[in-house]
Chain A
C-alpha cells in the first residue's frame, strides 16, 4: 500500500495528473464565467451542488471538481465525501477521457478501463457539464466516427445489391394457400388469408413508413406531471409532514398524471390513446433509469445508434427540474444510499458479471386483459370495493384504495379520449375519418370503464389499458399475452351479426386492419436507452410479446380465427415489436398451423419465435401451479413463460454471465478483466491445486454460486426500492390474487410469484468444461497449468492446442451424449441453486437460457476459453451450439432437444439461421423449415427461433442500411432491425452458421 505522501509525490510528478487538473480547472472556469453555461448550475430547488473526484488506480492522478452554491472549483485531490469518484485503470485511460469519443468512453466503462465509485447520477451530471463545455467537440467526434465507419463499409461493398433486397421483397409477395381444414377456424375461408397484402392497407403502409423513418423524441410528459405533483404533495412525507404510505402516494400521483396528460387520438388511427405526447416518443421514467441520459442531453440526437430528438425545452426541464428532484429518488441510488454502495451493486455496475433489470423496472408480466375486456375498470373497482367491505388491515386498505385511485385515473383518461375524439371529429374535414372519430368518441365513452361488446371496443379497451400501464411503470417486457384467445369471442360476436358473404369478407379485412393498427400503436414509443445500452442491449425495443396458438386451459386446440389474423398482420408488417411468439402442441395443433408459422418466418425473416407447448408445460409442472393455469401461459418479453394474468414472474430479473464464473474458477476467484479478487478461493490451477475434473467443476459452481448469490442480494435490495419508490397498484388490480390478498404485486400479491434469470453462455461453458475434462483429466494431452497459460495468452503461441480444443473435444451440439450430459449437469446445477434461494415475494427463482444481446456484450468482456473461443468474441446466442460443433444441423437440433426441460423453466433461445435455395419453390422451403421444427419439437425441444436471411444480404444491409430499414433479425429472444444494431452485433449475426434449405 502506498503512503499518502507517496501518492502526493506521484501525482505531483505525473504528467497525466497535471493534465487532468488543468482540464478540470478549465471546465470550472468555463462554468463559472460563461453566463450561458453558468445558469445550468442552478435548478428549480436552488444551486446544484456536486463533488466528483478522479484518480488512477496507482494514484498517479488525483483531482476533483466541486460545485457549491453556484461556484465551481477544481482541486488536486479527490474531495472527501465525493458523490462519485471516477477511477482509471491507467494514465492512458485517464487521458483517453479527454481525447476519445463518447463511444470510446462507453467501451472504457465496459472494459473496466474506467469505473465509478458512488453515484451514477452525479457522474452523469458532471458528464453533462463536460458536454456543455466540450459538446461541439463531442458532436463532431461522433460525426467523424460515423463518417469513417461509413467510408470503410462503402469501400468494402461500394455497390448496393438490388438482387439481394429484391429477394426479400419477392418472399413477401408470395402466399401459400391452406391445404387442410383447420378445426378451430370458424369464419375464415382460407386461414392463411393469402388474398391480403400490405398493399390492401394504405394506412398501415403509411404508419410503417413513419415508424421506420422517424426519429423518436424524448417525451417529458411523465416527469413533468409527476415532478409537479410530488413537489406539491411531497415524496417521503406528505404536505403535512406525515410519512407517505408509498402505494397511496403512487396512486394519487398516478391519478393526477392520468387526469392531466394529453388525450391524443393518433393521426388516422382506429385506436384511441398514445403512450407519449410525441408522434413517436421516448417516455422518461425519472424514478427508474431516466436519469441515465442526463449526460447525453446535448448529444443524444447526434449519436450513431438509436438517436433521439430532444427539444431545448425538454432538455432544460429535465436538467433544471426533473433530474435534480429524482437524483436520489430512483432505485439504484436508493439502494446505494440505503445499503452504502454494497459490493453486490458494484459488481452489477462493472458490466461483466450480471445485470439486474430492477434498476430500470420490473415489468415482464401479463395483465388481466380478459377481465378488463369483460367487466371494465368500473367492474374491477366494484370487485375491489367488495373486498374493502371485508375486514382489512392498514396495508390492505391502503393497497385497495390505491388500486381504485389508479383505475379511476384510467377511466378519466378514457373519458378524456372520448372528448378529444369528439373535438377532433368537429375539426375533421374528411367525412370518412370524421365517422371514425365519432365512432371512437362513442367507444371511449364506454371502454375501458365498462366491458367491451365488439372487437373495436375490445381492442380500444385493451390499448387504453396498455397505455395506462405504461404511465405507471416503465415497460421492459410487459407483455400482451394470448390476444388470439382473448379477442376471438369479440370477433365471433361481430361475425355472427353478419350474414352476407361480402359483409363478412369486408369485416375480416377490417379486423386485419384493426389488429394492424394495434401493432403500429405498440410502436408509438421506444425505451429511453442511454448510449451504453446500445452496446449492451442493442436495438431492443420494449419487447411487448404477443402469444398465439397452443392449447386451451383444458388442453384442447386453441388455434382460432384470430390466431391467423394476427399471423397475417405479423407477416405484413415485419415489426421488431410486438414480439410475436407462437405456441405449438405436438399432437394437438395442426400441421397446417405449424406450416403457416414457418411461412410467416420465411416472409418476415425472423418472426414469430416457435415454442413447444409440451416442453414449456413440462418445465412448469414441478412448480406446483394449477395445470390449467400452466396451459394458459404466455411468452413475456423475449420468450419466458408467465401464467397469464395470475403470475408476477419478473421473468427477466437479470442477465447472468456464467462464463465469468468459469474464468474465476481458472483464476482462483480473481476475475481477469476487472482484476477483482472477489470469488471464493477455489484453488489455483497454476500451482497444481486442482487435481481432478470434479474439483474443477466444483470450483466453477462455487464461483457461480458467489455471483448468483451476490446478484440475488442486489435483486432483493432493488425489490425493496421498488416497494418504496414505485409500487404498481394499477398492475396489481390486473393480476389475480392482489385484490384478494390486498397486497401490491411488488410485494407478493399475485397468485403465483417467481423471478426469472437468463443464464448466458451455456454452450461456451459446457464446451470449456468438456475441453478440461477430455484434454486434461482423461486423455492427458495437456496439463491444466499449460491449458491455463494457453488460455491466458489467447492461444497465440499454441495453434495446435487451439485446433485440438475445437476439433477433438466432443462439443455440445455435436451429437455427443457426454456433452449433452454436461450441459444438463450445468443447467441442473444452476436451476437447483436458484430454486434453493429464498425469494422476497415468497416465490421461486426460475432459470432460462437465452441471452438478449448479452452474449455479444459479455463476450466482449471475456478472455479466451478452454473451448477454443478466442478473447473478446461473442458467446453463442442463448444456448445455441457452436457452429463448428457438427457439420450437420440435425446434431445441433437433437442435442438441444435432449436438454431436460425441468431445468429450463424460464425458457431458452435456440437460434438457427437457414437460407432457402434460390431454385426452390416456396412450398418446398416451407416444408423443409416445417420438417426441422416439427422434428425438434417431437424430440422434446422447447423453443426455436429462425433467421431466414443470408450473410450476404446482411453484409449488404450493413453497408447500405437505407434499403433494409424493415429487415428484422432474431437476436436471442427478441427481434431488432438489423440496421439499428451496433457493429459487433451485426458481425455476430453475419458470422452465425448458415444452413441451406
Chain B
C-alpha cells in the first residue's frame, strides 16, 4: 500500500512502552474486531467525523457544503451518501465538532513532530511507538520512519495485530525495532474469524517467528480482555498454554473499558455491540484477577 494517513500523533504517552513516548496512530487495519476501541482507525481512507457534544450550532458549516450533505434534522447530521469528503465544513468549523479523520503526512513531517519530544525520551528512556490501525499495512513508510528516529538513538516500539507478510516485515521494519507489543486475541481460529474478520494462523506464525529472533526486538504478547469473547477461561488457558510452549514468561492483559461506544456514531458507522450489556460496563476486579490467575498459575507474569 502507498503512503498512509495518520490518525493522530499523541505525545506524552506513558502507557505505550517504557518511559515518555510519542505514539503515531496509523489509519487502516486488516482486522475488524467487533470490540475495536478505535473504530475510526479501521478504514484506510480519510473520514468526516461529527461530535454533537462539541457543536455550538453556529451553522458555519451549512453554507460551506456544496452538496447539502449537512442537515440539523438528520440523525448523525451528515448524509454520508451525499458527502464527497472535501472537508470544507471541517476546515471552517470553529469548535472542532466537524473534523477530518486521517491526514496525509510525509515521513519527515511525522519524524519532526515526534522528535520534538527527544529530550523527554532521553531522560525517561522513552521513545516512539507505532500504533493504529495497523502500521504494518505501510511497511516502507514505517521502516523509513523507524530508521529516521533511530538515527537519533530513540527507542522504537511497534504495536501490531500480527497480520502481516513476514518476509516483507523482516526485510523492512524488523531491523529498526527495539520492541514489539503483539496482540494475541483468540486462539480458536474460527472464533478469530468470526470476531476479528480473519483467521489467526498467520498471526500465530508471525508471533513464533518474532520470538525466534532471539530477544531483539523484545516481544510482549498482549491480550485484550473482552467480556464473553476473549476473557473466557478456555481462550485464555489456550493462549497461556501457547505462550508457555514457546517459553514466554511475560505477557500483558488489557482490561476492558466501554469508553469506545459512541465513537462509531461520529464517523457514521454502526456499532454491532451497542446493545450488548456485557460490553457496556467496566470490567470488575474479580474478573481481571481470574484472568490474571490463568497466566500466573503457569508461571507467566502479567
Contacts and interface: CB of A to CB of B under 8 A. Distances in A.
Interface of A: 799-804, 807-808, 815, 887-891, 894, 917, 927-928, 930-932, 934-935, 938-939, 995-997
Chain A to chain B: the 9 pairs with minimum beta-carbon distance, closest first: A800-B58, A931-B124, A803-B95, A799-B56, A888-B11, A804-B94, A803-B94, A888-B12, A931-B123
A800 B11 contact: no
B20 A890 contact: yes
Contacts of B116: 815, 890, 894
A808 B123 CA distance: 32
Contacts, number: 63
B278 interface: no
A932 B120 CA distance: 7
A931 B60 CA distance: 43
B58 A799 contact: yes
A888 B94 CA distance: 21
B119 interface: yes
Nearest to B93: A803
A804 B58 CA distance: 11
B10 A801 contact: no
B96 A995 contact: no
Contacts of A996: 14
A932 B11 CA distance: 13
A889 to B, nearest CB: 5
A939 B94 contact: no
Contacts of A939: 119
Contacts of B58: 799-800, 803
A800 B124 contact: no
B95 A807 contact: yes
Nearest to B8: A887
Interface in B83-125: 94-96, 116-117, 119-120, 122-124
A214 to B, nearest CB: 41
B113 to A, nearest CB: 10
B123 A802 contact: no
B83 to A, nearest CB: 22
Contacts of B94: 800-801, 803-804, 807-808
Interface in B265-284: none
Contacts of B123: 930-931, 934-935, 938
Contacts of A997: 14
Contacts of B95: 799-800, 803, 807
Contacts of B60: 800
A817 B153 CA distance: 26
Contact of A887 (B10, B19, B56, B126): B10
Given A799-B57, A928-B124, A935 B119 contact: yes
Contacts of A890: 11-12, 20, 116-117, 120
Contact of A807 (B11, B12, B15, B96): B96
A928 B14 contact: yes
A118 to B, nearest CB: 48
Contacts of A928: 14, 20, 124
A931 B11 contact: no
A804 B92 CA distance: 10
A819 to B, nearest CB: 15
A888 B116 CA distance: 12
Contacts of A931: 19-20, 120, 123-124, 126
Contacts of A815: 116
Contact of A891 (B11, B19, B57, B126): B11
Contacts of B57: 799
Nearest to B20: A931
Nearest to A802: B56
B279 to A, nearest CB: 22
A934 B19 CA distance: 13
Query: Of residues B10, B19, B120, B124, which shows the largest number of chain A Cβ atoms within 10 Å of its Cβ?
Result: B120
Query: Of residues B14, B15, B60, which shows the largest number of chain A Cβ atoms within 10 Å of its Cβ?
Result: B14
B272 to A, nearest CB: 30
A205 B256 CA distance: 43
Nearest to B117: A890
Given A807-B95, A931-B126, 11 more contacts: A799-B57, A800-B56, A802-B56, A803-B96, A807-B94, A807-B96, A888-B11, A890-B20, A890-B120, A891-B11, A917-B15
Contacts of A802: 56
A954 to B, nearest CB: 22
Nearest to B95: A803
A950 to B, nearest CB: 16
A920 to B, nearest CB: 8
Nearest to A892: B12
A799 B14 CA distance: 35
A888 B124 contact: no
A694 B291 CA distance: 64
B119 A938 contact: yes
A889 B12 contact: yes
A818 to B, nearest CB: 16
Interface string B39-64: 00000000000000000111010000
A900 B123 CA distance: 23
B109 to A, nearest CB: 14
Nearest to B124: A931
Interface string B109-153: 000000011011011101000000000000000000000000000
Contacts of B122: 935
A272 B287 CA distance: 59
A166 B11 CA distance: 31
Interface in B15-39: 15, 19-20
A800 B61 CA distance: 11
A939 B119 CA distance: 8
Nearest to B15: A917
A820 to B, nearest CB: 13
Contact of A927 (B117, B120, B124): B124
Contacts of B119: 935, 938-939
20 contacts: A799-B57, A800-B58, A800-B94, A802-B56, A803-B56, A808-B94, A888-B10, A889-B12, A890-B11, A890-B20, A890-B116, A890-B120, A917-B14, A917-B15, A927-B124, A931-B20, A931-B120, A932-B20, A934-B123, A995-B12
Contacts of A932: 20, 120
Contacts of B19: 931
A800 B94 CA distance: 6
A890 B60 CA distance: 33
A889 B116 CA distance: 13
Query: Of residues A804, A808, A917, A935, which shows the largest number of chain B Cβ atoms within 10 Å of its Cβ?
Result: A935
A702 to B, nearest CB: 32
A592 to B, nearest CB: 14
B72 to A, nearest CB: 15
A53 B122 CA distance: 68
B22 to A, nearest CB: 9
A801 B58 CA distance: 9
Contacts of A803: 56, 58, 94-96
Nearest to B57: A799
A815 B120 CA distance: 15
